[in-house]
């Protein structure tokens, strides 16, 4: 085949060959945690490259909640929202890349999926993100129990409570700034309010004081409560090292008392040695001898 005919055949093939289109989903941005009552922006970031956009759709679970079709003539047909329990989309703030959920509640929690369909090839790409709606605890965590002073061998027994949140907060114990040993933790069942569904969590800390716990002159325990990436609070308690009762003074006093008692016994013994008691017969013999001597001298 002549070179010109080969070149013509290749150009003809290329002109009728389908173009290669490939859309690329860069990222889906779904906030992992949103406070109850706030708004949430969901984004679908993609690159159409050489293709056009046929449609963009958002789903919550398997239910369609938003549709964008740029080829529709009227704006009302171009963008549509389908409200579900917990899903209220503000269309004015939504477009082919994002949707805005207003005033989220607990029903808003779930999986959100972005689906993109290319215009020429009808290639479809999709991705999913999880969003959780959270209610912050009614108050900061609080430590209950414990003593003002501790000595080596004493038992530390305290509780940390975080009340009425959803989901329950994550509680973490620290001893003198270091993460507590898991064996010291006492886990209790989560308490759920029947009406609101809010949860209260209590975790205990129980351990015997060792010398290392008092090396700085006291003991510090801290409990932190966290909830997703939107909440962090703590409570801390300090206790002084208990004064150690010395037995030195008692021993010295006992020694002195013992020495005094021993000295008294010795003195009593010496007094008894100095007081010689003679039998009565010896006294009578002595008097008789004196009288006989006197009579003998008169006779002479």
3-state SS, one letter per residue, for the chain: CCHHHHHHHHHHHHHHCCCCCCCEEEEEECCCEEECCCCEEEEEEEECCCCCEEEEEEEECCEEEEEECCCCCCHHHHEEECCECCECECHHHCCCCEEEECCCCHHHCEEEEEEEEECCCCCEEEEEEEEEEEECCCCCCEEEECCCEECCCCEEEEEEEEEEEECCCEEEEEECCEECCHHHEEECCCEECCCCCCEEEEEEEEEECCHHHHCCCEEEEEEEEEECCCEEEEEEEEEEECCCCCCHHHHHHHHHHHHHHHHHHHHHHHHHHHCCCCCHHHHHHHHHHHHHHHHHHHHC
Residue 210 lies in a domain: yes
* 243-277 tens-digit pLDDT: 644 333 333 334 344 434 444 443 453 444 444 34
Last residue of a domain, which of 109, 134, 159?
134
Say how far apart CA 247 and CA 252 lie, in whole Å. 9
Residue 32 lies in a domain: yes
Could you tell me if 148 and 225 lie in one domain? yes
pLDDT tier for residue 15 given thresholds of 50, 70 and 90: very low
| Structural domains in the chain (count) | 2
Question: Is the model's pLDDT at 6 over the cut of 60?
Answer: no
Lowest mean pLDDT segment, chosen from 71-75, 88-92, 159-163: 71-75
Q: What is the mean pLDDT of residues 126-149?
A: 96
Residue 164 lies in a domain: yes
pLDDT tier for residue 90 given thresholds of 50, 70 and 90: very high
Residue of 194 and 16 predicted with greater confidence? 194
Could you tell me if 154 and 208 lie in one domain? yes
Question: Is the model's pLDDT at 20 over the cut of 80?
Answer: no
Could you tell me if 179 and 130 lie in one domain? no
Residue 126 lies in a domain: yes
Q: How many other CB atoms are there within 10 angstroms of residue 168's CB atom?
A: 20
- Supply the pLDDT for residue 284: 46
Question: Is the model's pLDDT at 93 over the cut of 80?
Answer: yes
Q: What is the mean pLDDT of residues 127-151?
A: 96
Burial category of 87 from C-beta neighbours within 10 Å (exposed 0-12, middle 13-18, buried 19 and up): buried
Closest by CA to 234, choosing from 219, 223, 242, is 223
Residue of 206 and 47 predicted with greater confidence? 206
Question: Is the model's pLDDT at 189 over the cut of 60?
Answer: yes
Could you tell me if 198 and 124 lie in one domain? no
- Supply the pLDDT for residue 21: 54
Could you tell me if 128 and 206 lie in one domain? no
Secondary structure of 131-177 in HEC code, one letter for each residue: EEEEECCCCCCEEEECCCEECCCCEEEEEEEEEEEECCCEEEEEECC
Residues of the domain holding 24: 19-134
Could you tell me if 34 and 113 lie in one domain? yes
- Supply the pLDDT for residue 232: 96
- Supply the pLDDT for residue 106: 95
- Supply the pLDDT for residue 84: 93
Residue 197 lies in a domain: yes
Could you tell me if 112 and 195 lie in one domain? no
Could you tell me if 119 and 174 lie in one domain? no
Residue 122 lies in a domain: yes
Q: 41 and 105 in contact (C-beta within 8 Å)?
A: no
- Supply the pLDDT for residue 95: 93
Identify the H or E element spanning 273: helix 248-274
Q: Indicate the pTM of the whole model.
A: 0.67
Could you tell me if 127 and 176 lie in one domain? no
Say how far apart CA 138 and CA 55 lie, in whole Å. 44
Residue 274 lies in a domain: no
Lowest mean pLDDT segment, chosen from 76-90, 132-146, 248-262: 248-262
Last residue of a domain, which of 112, 134, 156?
134
Residue 95 lies in a domain: yes
Residue 25: CATH number of its domain: 2.60.40.10
Could you tell me if 112 and 147 lie in one domain? no
Main-chain dihedrals φ then ψ at residue 39, nearest 5 degrees: -90, 155
Could you tell me if 29 and 107 lie in one domain? yes
Last residue of a domain, which of 134, 154, 188?
134
Question: Is the model's pLDDT at 8 over the cut of 70?
Answer: no
Could you tell me if 148 and 130 lie in one domain? no
């Amino acid at each position: 085949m002549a070179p010109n005919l080969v070149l013509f055949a290749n150009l003809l093939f290329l002109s009728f060959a389908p173009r290669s289109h490939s859309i690329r989903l860069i990222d889906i941005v779904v906030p992992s945690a949103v406070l109850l009552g706030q708004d949430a922006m969901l984004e679908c970031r993609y690159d159409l490259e050489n293709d056009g956009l046929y449609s963009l759709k958002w789903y919550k679970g398997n239910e369609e909640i938003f549709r964008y079709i740029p080829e529709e003539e009227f704006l009302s047909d171009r963008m549509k929202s389908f409200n579900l329990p917990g899903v209220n989309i503000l269309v004015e703030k939504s477009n082919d890349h994002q949707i805005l959920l207003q005033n989220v509640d607990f029903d808003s929690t779930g999986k959100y999926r972005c689906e993109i369909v290319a215009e020429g090839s009808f290639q479809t790409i999709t991705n999913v993100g999880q969003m959780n709606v959270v209610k912050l605890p009614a108050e900061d965590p609080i430590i209950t129990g414990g003593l003002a002073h501790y000595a080596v061998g004493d038992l530390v027994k305290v509780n940390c409570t975080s009340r009425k949140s959803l989901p329950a907060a994550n509680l973490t114990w620290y001893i003198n700034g270091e993460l507590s040993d898991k064996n010291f933790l006492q886990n209790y069942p989560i308490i759920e309010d029947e009406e609101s569904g809010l949860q209260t969590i209590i975790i205990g800390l129980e351990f015997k004081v060792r010398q290392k716990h008092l090396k700085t002159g006291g003991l510090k325990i801290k409990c932190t409560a966290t909830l997703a990436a939107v909440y962090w609070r703590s409570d801390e308690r300090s206790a002084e090292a208990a004064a150690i009762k010395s037995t030195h003074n008692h021993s010295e006093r006992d020694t002195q008392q013992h020495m005094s008692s021993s000295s008294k016994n010795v003195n009593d013994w010496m007094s008894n040695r100095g007081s010689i008691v003679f039998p009565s017969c010896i006294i009578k013999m002595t008097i008789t001898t004196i009288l006989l001597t006197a009579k003998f001298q008169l006779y002479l």
